[in-house]
Amino acid sequence: MDEVRIYKQFDPAPLTPGDNELYVDLDNVRGETHIVKKFARRIRLSRNSNTVQILAGHRGSGKSTELRRLQENLQSENPRYFVVYVEADEDIEGNDVDFPEVLIAIVRQMADQLRKRAKIELKPGYFKDRAYRLKGLLGSEVDFEKVDLGTGLLKISAAIKNSPDARLEVRRLLEPDTSNWLEAANEVIGQAVTELRRQGFEGLVIIVDDLDKMILKPHAAGCTTAEYLFIHREAQLRAFNSHMVYTMPIALAYSTQEQNIENLYGGRVPVVPMVKIMTRPPDQTRYEDGFEKFRDLVRRRLSRAGVKAEQVFDSKDTLDQLIELSAGQPRELVILIREAIVSSDLPICKEAVERAEREGRWAFERQLNGDHWPVIDEVRLKGEFSRTNDNDAAIRDLLDSRALLQYVNADEWYDVNPMVPKKRP
């Protein structure tokens, strides 16, 4: 057996369109959420009016994989859209995010992708007039006569990302002028859409990924940074003349702000939920359909390495134990198998599962405090929690740490990550 080849199949990075053979459609064990179909349908049905859609989900639930599939769907099925996939953390400091940086990241990556993938060179337009204001900040003016829009904005974006002072300065300069910057952005979006239509695309869709990774910290406005961006800046996030898809931290989507967000964004924020592999607490019996989907996920990766599950796991039970530990998180399962491959020679045996469980428990022990346990106990008992102002922060933290996981099957329910210690310390 080529162990290196097997190991490399279990790469936790999101699947790309080239990994189609590895993709397992998990919709029917995720509660028929059909994220890709729903998002694509809403865009296609809206035709001339732009849409803004939000997606939330735990780390490793498959958000980026689903968004990449949405991109593929929109680009390949008729009517076709050109999709700009913005990886926000390339330009944004996750610890300190506000709208001006999001705007610059979007326009920069859009210009870059249009130039590379559609051979469209966007003209800087109003950006040329606005950028001179940042001369003091950047040391010299960005000369849009000499560089393309993407390269010019890269200079601004790098300064913003690397220096808190620069961020504050940019915000100070942009804040009173936000509508003009938005106008500048929409002017280049307009150019892009015109060119794209000429190339046979119906329009432009901008997917802004990674905003869900924002660190939730207090903002001067008396809320968290994520609340500030998605609630206070909602009008600006909606103001781009293009279809927009943003990712949002799940801890914000399911906080005391839930109702507010529903009102602002036109309904409940869709979530990429966990795969149901166990039934809702307190029953907690195995859900065979979910297990089978995950076994399929493993088999497909092993097949690419030219081996069968029977060769890699000492028993079916060992694979199932790893699936159970994954709690229905696809990336977690991939990481658990990677970890097990490293911990001892193949085939993977029970000791490797125990080691993985020990590592997971160790990490959770370092994240939980007294405020978390009443929520954990309640979820273990009922599969749901009662939210109050007192426990809101604890719930957000439990969701953010993946100690609590959300499932949507018939109804929405929660479970405690099996790697969370069974008892309070």
Going by C-alpha positions, the residue among 92, 23, 97 that lies closest to residue 64 is 23
Taking a C-beta distance cutoff of 8 angstroms, is the pair 275, 30 a contact?
yes
SS3 276: coil
Q: What residues contact residue 94 under an 8 Å CB cut-off, 6+ apart?
A: 210, 213, 214, 215
Return the range that interacts with another protein (CB under 8 A); candidates 31-39, 185-193, 291-299, 358-366.
358-366
12 binds another protein (CB under 8 A): yes
Least distance to another protein, CB of residue 359, Å:
5
13 binds another protein (CB under 8 A): yes
Task: Please state whether the peptide bond connecting residue 79 to the residue before it is cis, i.e. omega within 30 degrees of 0.
Answer: yes
Taking a C-beta distance cutoff of 8 angstroms, is the pair 74, 243 a contact?
no
Choosing from 51, 94, 260, 357, the residue that interacts with another protein (CB under 8 A) is 94
1 binds another protein (CB under 8 A): no
Q: What single-letter DSSP state applies at residue 19?
A: G
Please, is 380 exposed, middle or buried when counting C-beta atoms within 10 Å of its C-beta (0-12, 13-18, 19+)? Answer: middle
Name the amino acid, one letter, at 316.
K
Nearer to another protein, 75 or 367 (CB): 367
Sign of CA dihedral 329, 333, 334, 339: positive
Identify the bridge partners of residue 416 per DSSP, sorted by sequence position: 404
Taking a C-beta distance cutoff of 8 angstroms, is the pair 185, 106 a contact?
yes
381 binds another protein (CB under 8 A): no
69 binds another protein (CB under 8 A): no
Least distance to another protein, CB of residue 95, Å:
3
359 binds another protein (CB under 8 A): yes
In the numeric block, which tokens belong to residue 383?
């599969």
344 binds another protein (CB under 8 A): yes
Question: Which stretches does DSSP call E strand in 34-184?
Answer: 52-57, 81-87
Going by C-alpha positions, the residue among 44, 69, 55, 38 that lies closest to residue 203 is 44
93 binds another protein (CB under 8 A): yes
Nearer to another protein, 164 or 200 (CB): 164
Size of site (CB under 8 A) for another protein: 39
146 binds another protein (CB under 8 A): no
Least distance to another protein, CB of residue 173, Å:
22
Return the range that interacts with another protein (CB under 8 A); candidates 9-17, 21-29, 127-135, 169-177.
9-17
CA distances in angstroms from 382 to 235, 249, 276, 408, listed in the order given: 38, 24, 16, 15
Q: What residues contact residue 174 under an 8 Å CB cut-off, 6+ apart?
A: 100, 181
In the numeric block, which tokens belong to residue 262?
């529903």
366 binds another protein (CB under 8 A): yes
For 310, other C-beta atoms within 10 Å of its C-beta total 12
Return the range that interacts with another protein (CB under 8 A); candidates 42-50, 89-97, 128-136, 413-421.
89-97
59 binds another protein (CB under 8 A): yes
202 binds another protein (CB under 8 A): no
Q: Report the site for another protein in 301-340 (rule: CB under 8 A).
A: 331, 335, 338-339
Least distance to another protein, CB of residue 273, Å:
17
Nearer to another protein, 94 or 190 (CB): 94
Choosing from 354, 365, 377, 411, the residue that interacts with another protein (CB under 8 A) is 365
Choosing from 34, 80, 213, 304, the residue that interacts with another protein (CB under 8 A) is 213
Q: What single-letter DSSP state applies at residue 254?
A: T
162 binds another protein (CB under 8 A): yes
341 binds another protein (CB under 8 A): yes
218 binds another protein (CB under 8 A): no
Choosing from 20, 95, 263, 284, the residue that interacts with another protein (CB under 8 A) is 95
Going by C-alpha positions, the residue among 103, 98, 61, 113 that lies closest to residue 326 is 61
4 binds another protein (CB under 8 A): yes
Taking a C-beta distance cutoff of 8 angstroms, is the pair 251, 58 a contact?
no
Return the range that interacts with another protein (CB under 8 A); candidates 27-35, 264-272, 311-319, 394-402.
394-402
Rounded to 5 degrees, φ, ψ at 84 are: -95, 120
Which stretches of the chain bind another protein, using CB under 8 A?
Answer: 3-4, 7-8, 11-13, 59-60, 87, 89-90, 92-96, 162, 164, 210, 213, 215, 331, 335, 338-339, 341-344, 359, 362-363, 365-367, 400-402
